[in-house]
Chains A and B, each alone.
Chain A
Amino acid sequence: MSITGERYLVSFDALDQQVNFEGVLRTQNRVDLNTLKDYLIGIYDKLDGSMRLNFRKLRYISAAALKTIVDFLLYAKQSERLAVKLIGSKVITWEVKTLPVLPEVWRGVEFVLYDDHFYESQGIIEDAAFIPLLRNQTRLLWPQEKQVLLRHGLRSGLRVADICCGCGDVALLIAKEINPAIVVGVDHSLPAIEYARRLQDEFKVKNADFRLGDATALMLEDEIFDYVLCRLSIQIFSKPELIIKELLRILKPGGRVYLLGEDYDLIVGYPNEKEIRRVYDRAGQYGTDIGMDLYNGKKLYSILAGLKLTNICLDYINVDTVNSDRRLFAEMIASWRHFSAETIGRQLRISQEAHDQLLAGYDAHLQTIRHPFGYSKWTLVSASGEKGK
């Protein structure tokens, strides 16, 4: 959900309940400005807890556009339902000069400079290099995966568990947008769980609970959930059967277990198709060498069928340069590039030549994604099945 105008883009990031402003907002067009105000009000009316307006990528604003933002804040002041946080950047002069004035309009507005205090938890979670990557993946996947989850039986009122929930983005999106009775998120990373709890608190999400735990030895009772998810996780464990056993243990009879898996065989692109194929063959092999399975998407049906689950559903989620934001897609691949060449590559002590070839392959893929006429697709497999009664 976004609006664009002459030189600006305003978009909503559901993960952070944040409206992102980019470009130059100096329109003189009253219709554009009214559309912007209505857009902000429309988002405000749907949220709980807090709403963020992120100006870090807005190079300029005119007084007339600023007035539109203030008009929205006056609307928020009247309803006083949410806290509004304005996020500015230290390196953009107008933001340092002008944004601090806005809290004078309404005390419910807080202005923070991203560089100084914003996301106090960011330092922690960014130490865990994979978490920003997971958040970008969620941004790309959620619009399609939400529909898949609904097709696979997730609905309002269920008791849901998200095992290996990371920093809780998907669990919180499910809690807010699908309204289950409860979502329990479990992850082994304390910074990730702390981050999830902070977001939950800020967005006043009541039907979620985050716990630190080991996915192969969950501190959860038997058969208490109607729906159990495990997304993009069993692929990174060398013994996925240990996790799956736990997923089934906590699932009620008649409940459904949902898995999301990757498959490097299904990543394609043009131009540079040969380079793209080669790099994912190579990166997939390196993953195998350290005990990961980056081809497990095609195996999910067999896994679920082998467990004698019934009513198995299977869907593909296709993130591509047509249905998704090229920039986000490229950011994700850039994170993969780093993870593959630096984290995995160093662990395997690959040669300098192999390291350089890996980087060159990812660069070819990035070039394809960033090229306005380039096409690339990242396909994932969703599979779910029902536990016998």
Chain B
Amino acid sequence: MSAVKVIGEFEGAAVGAAPYVRLVVPASDFALDWRRYNLVANYIAEYSAYRFEPKDAAENLISSVFYELIEYMAGCSRREAKLDVRLYASDRLLRFDLASSFAREEAAQLEAFLREMLRQDLDELYRGLLTAELDSAAGRRELGLTMVAHDYHAGISAAIDEDSGGVTLRALVRREEINA
């Protein structure tokens, strides 16, 4: 039996069973051409924006959030992993789910960072990352997650299967953020 660790409030967000849009792509595609981050984030945003009002604001929000999440997940994925990207929504929430497979160290780093994010004052963490020397790709990816959590008031959580390396990263954004 696998041991799945949950960091943050992963459950409890009721959304429809079927995603508005789902895309499964090889994680290594992003390493081959980083422009695919933008391509995929925009594709999902443009595809699903018609379900929201105002459409343009929703599209910009969805793309902005997905971009940073995809960058994090693809950047940490195992070379052979598939990245499974889904957008769900309810009357109250947008749920961004991204699943992939990480090496043990990357999974541990995600867990440590999310625990730090939960523990620390988010304003301080964000300001600290913005003003720090961020020489590593990992540091910049963490800034991306913090930006999503802070600027879009997203609840970020993860489920990590320590045995298989399976990771699901989840961001919950209140629907009213589209208008805020």
* A residues adjacent to B (C-beta < 8 A): 6-7, 24, 26-29, 59-60, 62-64, 66-67, 70, 74, 91-94, 96-98, 101, 104-105
Contact = CB atoms under 8 A, between A and B. Distances in A.
A308 to B, nearest CB: 63
Interface stretch (B11-19, B31-39, B86-94, B99-107): B31-39
22 contacts: A6-B35, A26-B67, A60-B38, A60-B60, A60-B67, A62-B67, A63-B68, A64-B144, A66-B130, A67-B130, A67-B134, A70-B131, A91-B56, A92-B60, A93-B60, A94-B151, A96-B180, A97-B151, A101-B126, A101-B130, A104-B127, A105-B131
A7 B34 CA distance: 13
A100 to B, nearest CB: 9
**Nearest 5 pairs of A and B residues by beta carbon:** A93-B60, A63-B144, A28-B34, A97-B151, A63-B143
Contacts of B126: 101
A98 B151 contact: yes
Contacts of A98: 147, 151
B150 A101 contact: yes
Given A93-B57, A93-B178, A97-B152, A64 B35 contact: no
Interface string B141-180: 0011011001110000000000000000000000001101
B152 A24 contact: no
The residue in B38, B42, B61, B64 that gathers the most chain A C-beta atoms within 10 A of its C-beta is: B64
Contacts of B111: none
Nearest to B34: A28
A63 B152 CA distance: 13
Contacts of A62: 37, 67-68, 71, 144
B71 to A, nearest CB: 7
Contact of A101 (B35, B60, B140, B151): B151
B63 interface: yes
Nearest to A6: B35
Contact of A63 (B38, B127, B140): B140
Interface in B41-91: 42, 56-57, 60-61, 63-64, 67-68, 71
Given A28-B34, A93-B57, A64 B152 contact: no
Contacts of B71: 62-63
B34 A64 contact: no
A94 B146 CA distance: 14
Interface string B105-126: 0000000000000000001001
Nearest to B132: A67
B147 A63 contact: yes
Contacts of A27: 34
Contacts of A94: 60-61, 64, 151
